[in-house]
Structure 1
């Protein structure tokens, strides 16, 4: 059972952090590229829904294990023409048939899943052979000094931020899960502490 902190405090903290302008700008770079039948891993509060193009997307199915966040996602702003379904589920055990999605969208999710390699394997399983994974994630910084601080801060950060990790690799983990990276960019997000601000985003396809 979720604690009072998880039920009432954490969603408010996540809303403030995840809807910050630098993060919303990153979402806007990735989400509009999705097309066809789309699966969103860790839909959270539905902050991506406003960026989907209903002219390109037939359906968005989002999964998240937190009932408090799913309730927020179902009421999140989006184009009224967008077909959206929000399901209970985890990225590591997706209740969908293989090769059943045109795109998978994963934004600021791999930091907090229990098993990122398993989540990526599941994303690859449910994608069609010509499908696309669109990702935007924060993770392990390339600068040794920043990475040192990430490792120092991570234990307390995880407890405060709903299991969010600071030191998980992003693009290399996606490639290791059997994806071919077709486009990738990275930077420190402006206006964000460097220990939490290293961001990698791009597009990948099943190898």
Structure 2
């Protein structure tokens, strides 16, 4: 990836994910996880303090070794045992039907083949398992959506492949999930960057 991708982007991601405006979203989504959990794009481990006592095992997949190293430090600080998998969510190295919850927080924006990744998440979920998510994406406001489309080509190389304009709800449903809860709205901040999709989905 080069120096920028290997060192600058992980630092930027860690800083962005520390934003206090995201805490309540993070708390609600992560606390709903239970059993054996797979976290997609575990990053530097900001979600780890929010997993509840009903979680028996945490596996975290992440392509950046620099972010995994930071997450290991957070796992030690929170006394969480985490199995880290370095790689892409487009090919998850787990058996089918092997996890109870898949958690993804502000990750689907940057996966190159997001459809393949969502199909993999569906594959590894047990019957009755849930996808728990909060993501930013395409806004329903046409003016904001036009800005998102215009900004995304310039934003992607600066922000680790982040797309501002992905229609998250539609993408989840197109890959064989049924959304059982979906809440949308703007978080504080510039509108092209802050339209949130928060909810739950299960394999259809």
What displacement does 1:65 show?
1.0
Moved over 4 A (4+): none
Q: Deviations over 1:50-106 (max 9, x none)?
A: 1101x20010000011111111111115632x3311111211100100000000001
Q: 1:60 aligns with which of 58, 61, 73?
A: 58
Compute the displacement of 1:138 (Å).
Answer: 0.4
Residue matched to 1:13 = 12
Of 109, 112, 116, which residue of structure 2 is paired with 1:111? 109
* Structure-2 residue corresponding to 1:79: 78
In the TM superposition, what is the alpha-carbon distance from 1:173 to its structure 2 partner?
0.9
Gaps of 5+ in 2: none
Q: For the residues of structure 1 that align with 2:190 and 2:16, how far apart are their CA atoms?
A: 12
Q: Which runs of 5 or more structure 1 residues have no equivalent in the other structure?
A: none
**Distance apart, 1:200 and its partner CA:** 0.4
Query: Hey, what's the Cα distance between the residues in 1 that align with 2:145 and 2:58?
Result: 35
RMSD between aligned residues: 1.1
Query: Normalization by structure 1: what TM-score?
Result: 0.95
The C-alpha deviation readout for 1:118-159, integer Å capped at 9, x for no partner, is 111000000001101101000011100000001111111001
Superposition pairs of residues 172-191 of structure 1, within 5 angstroms: 172-190=170-188
Number of positions where the alignment pairs a residue of Structure 1 with one of Structure 2: 203
